[in-house]
Amino acid sequence: MTGDIIEKDSPKDEAAARGAVAAVDPRLLVREEGLKGYLLEFWRKLRGGDLGSLPVVVGLAAIWAVFQWRDDAFLSPKNLSDLSILIVGTGLISVGVVFVLLLGEIDLSVGSLSGLAAAIVAVLSVNHGVPEWLAVLAALGAGAVLGALHGVFFAKIGVPAFVVTLAGLLAWEGLKQQVLGTTGSISMDEDGFVASLTSHYFSQVAAAYGAAGLAVAGYFLAQFLDARRRRAAGIPFRPMADILVRTGVLAVLLLAAAWKLNEYMGLPLALVIFVVVLVLFDFVLRRTPYGRKVLALGGNVEAARRAGINVDLVRISVFALSGLMAACGGLIIASRITSAAQSAGTGTLLMEAIAAAVIGGTSLFGGRGSVWSALLGMLVIGSIASGMALLGIATSVQNMITGGVLLAAVVIDSVSRRTQRSAGRG
């Protein structure tokens, strides 16, 4: 199929092609073998403004070091375990936000939608006696449908996403209050399904280690098979040493986490949910045609349209996904406090969800980013919150610091975009 037109080249063309191979462009970016090659490539990426997740990882390490220095309870098993549950609710919302940001758009309604989802579950299960799992499905469905509604107004009618979702922010906040009624706050079953989402731990020692081992083995296998197929196809592949080093680093990180979690109460169910969602959506974004369409739209809408991509459909689906993930996050947050209150989904929740995606390295300008930025960003925000709480610093100061971190992240994003521009097209 490929190269059908050019398959049977005339001798003249073959000669030209051979000439091109013989005269290899001296500027070709071939990576040297070994450590030196790595460092060189790394340096080249930095120079080109391709910082990836480096700033956030460095920042996170610094934050952890400072808090641990001020109070050695910070890296205690209990605190880290609590942190790993604390970040899940907002983190799930942030996964949806990442997709919207990849389009170069924004969704301001996720906070309200998450609160609405919590209200729906509480009212259905507590006031109307609907089984909790059914109530959860209804809430998730509502999130997806309302998100899709934003998408329709944005894609089909052309209202800026900013305004549509701002309207959503107000409207769904009002709807949540209607749903909750005058009672204000509805307590849910302490032993119910929703409550167990954040209260359940897999307390067997083998569980955390087993999950870590499974993840490491899965990563290694995926990398190994990929390299083998690449080698067979005659295209550049990752050398074995490289794969082993990466797998090793991952193994150390995951086993350390498993050890810490086992020191406390074991592997939290909420963390498992979060990681599964991250892996799943990372796969969708990087490995499926759908994810490629989302990225293409973020890069150049007109090019995507001319390539035959159904732009409207992708846009609507991304906003539906954002609504769905907002509802998921809302349920986890409700689960932690086992109730749905008038205050659900308000306050800094929306800003934190968006900030996490940006701090984690997803560009506000669309087309660049990763699902994992939801985790990295939430780790930063959650660590600041948890560390400050340990040190007894007021929320007001906490907000100012998180604001500063967000600003720093956006500055890095803008600067790296500028550097990429100037390092890119001449």
Partner 1 sequence: MPNEPVLALRGISKRFGAVQALTEVHLEVHAGEVVALVGDNGAGKSTLVKTIAGVGPADGGVIEWCGRPVQVNRPHDAQELGIATVYQDLALCDNLDVVGNLFLGREIRRAGVLDEIEMERRSRELLHTLSIRIPSVRIPVAALSGGQRQTVAIARSMLGEPRLVILDEPTAALGVEQTAQVLDLVERLRERGLAVILISHNMADVKAVADTVAVLRLGRNNGTFDVASTSQEEIVSAITGATDNAVTRRRARTAEVGR
- Alpha-carbon distance of 407 to 412, in angstroms, equals 9
Q: Which residue has the tokens 């001798």?
A: 11
3-state secondary structure of 40: helix
Among 276, 303, 313, 391, contact with partner 1 (rule: CB under 8 A): 303
Which residues sit opposite 186 in a β-bridge?
340
Q: Which is nearer to partner 1, 204 or 300 (CB)?
A: 300
Q: Binders of partner 1: how many residues, by CB under 8 A?
A: 53
Q: Confirm or reject binding of residue 4 to partner 1 (CB under 8 A).
A: yes
Q: Which is nearer to partner 1, 14 or 189 (CB)?
A: 14
The helix (H) or strand (E) run that includes residue 268 is: strand 267-268
Q: Confirm or reject binding of residue 10 to partner 1 (CB under 8 A).
A: yes
Among 1, 128, 129, 191, contact with partner 1 (rule: CB under 8 A): 1
Burial of 102 (0-12, 13-18, 19+ CB in 10 A): buried
CB 331 within 8 A of CB 194: yes
- Alpha-carbon distance of 244 to 386, in angstroms, equals 34
Query: Candidates 113-121, 175-183, 293-301, 340-348 — which segment interacts with partner 1 by CB under 8 A?
Result: 293-301
Which residues sit opposite 252 in a β-bridge?
none
Query: Candidates 53-61, 197-205, 222-230, 263-271 — which segment interacts with partner 1 by CB under 8 A?
Result: 222-230
Find the shortest distance in angstroms from Cβ 365 to partner 1. Answer: 9
Among 6, 158, 178, 392, contact with partner 1 (rule: CB under 8 A): 6
The total number of residues written for the chain in this structure: 426
Among 16, 35, 62, 73, contact with partner 1 (rule: CB under 8 A): 16
Q: Confirm or reject binding of residue 298 to partner 1 (CB under 8 A).
A: yes
Q: Confirm or reject binding of residue 367 to partner 1 (CB under 8 A).
A: yes
Sequence-separated (6 or more) residues with CB below 8 Å from residue 298: 102, 103, 104, 366, 367, 368
- Binders of partner 1 among residues 46 to 75 (CB under 8 A) are 48
Q: Which is nearer to partner 1, 157 or 233 (CB)?
A: 233
Among 129, 158, 308, 392, contact with partner 1 (rule: CB under 8 A): 308
Query: Candidates 153-161, 184-192, 329-337, 417-425 — which segment interacts with partner 1 by CB under 8 A?
Result: 417-425
Find the shortest distance in angstroms from Cβ 144 to partner 1. Answer: 22
- Alpha-carbon distance of 100 to 281, in angstroms, equals 13
Query: Candidates 141-149, 216-224, 298-306, 316-324 — which segment interacts with partner 1 by CB under 8 A?
Result: 298-306
Among 36, 70, 156, 287, contact with partner 1 (rule: CB under 8 A): 287
Name residue 186's amino acid. Answer: I
Find the shortest distance in angstroms from Cβ 123 to partner 1. Answer: 39
Sequence-separated (6 or more) residues with CB below 8 Å from residue 77: 260, 261, 263, 264
Which residues sit opposite 93 in a β-bridge?
none
Q: Which is nearer to partner 1, 6 or 128 (CB)?
A: 6
Q: At what angle do helices 77-102 and 269-287 cross, to 10 degrees?
A: 30
Q: Which is nearer to partner 1, 183 or 420 (CB)?
A: 420
Sequence-separated (6 or more) residues with CB below 8 Å from residue 43: none
Q: Confirm or reject binding of residue 191 to partner 1 (CB under 8 A).
A: no
Main-chain phi, psi angles of 415, to 5 degrees: -65, -40
Find the shortest distance in angstroms from Cβ 66 to partner 1. Answer: 35
CB 367 within 8 A of CB 104: yes
- 238 Rama sector, left if φ>0, alpha if ψ -120 to 50, beta otherwise: beta
Q: Which is nearer to partner 1, 191 or 302 (CB)?
A: 302
- Alpha-carbon distance of 247 to 244, in angstroms, equals 5
DSSP one-letter string for 347-400: TTHHHHHHHHHHHTT--TTSS---TTHHHHHHHHHHHHHHHHHHHT--HHHHHH
Find the shortest distance in angstroms from Cβ 274 to partner 1. Answer: 23
Q: Confirm or reject binding of residue 26 to partner 1 (CB under 8 A).
A: no
Among 11, 22, 25, 158, contact with partner 1 (rule: CB under 8 A): 25
Q: Which residue has the tokens 């929703």?
A: 194
Q: Confirm or reject binding of residue 176 to partner 1 (CB under 8 A).
A: no
Q: Confirm or reject binding of residue 22 to partner 1 (CB under 8 A).
A: no
Among 32, 226, 400, 411, contact with partner 1 (rule: CB under 8 A): 226
Residues that bind partner 1 (CB under 8 A): 1-7, 9-10, 12-13, 16-17, 19-21, 25, 27-29, 48, 226, 229-230, 233-235, 287-289, 292, 295-296, 298-300, 302-309, 366-368, 420-421, 423-426
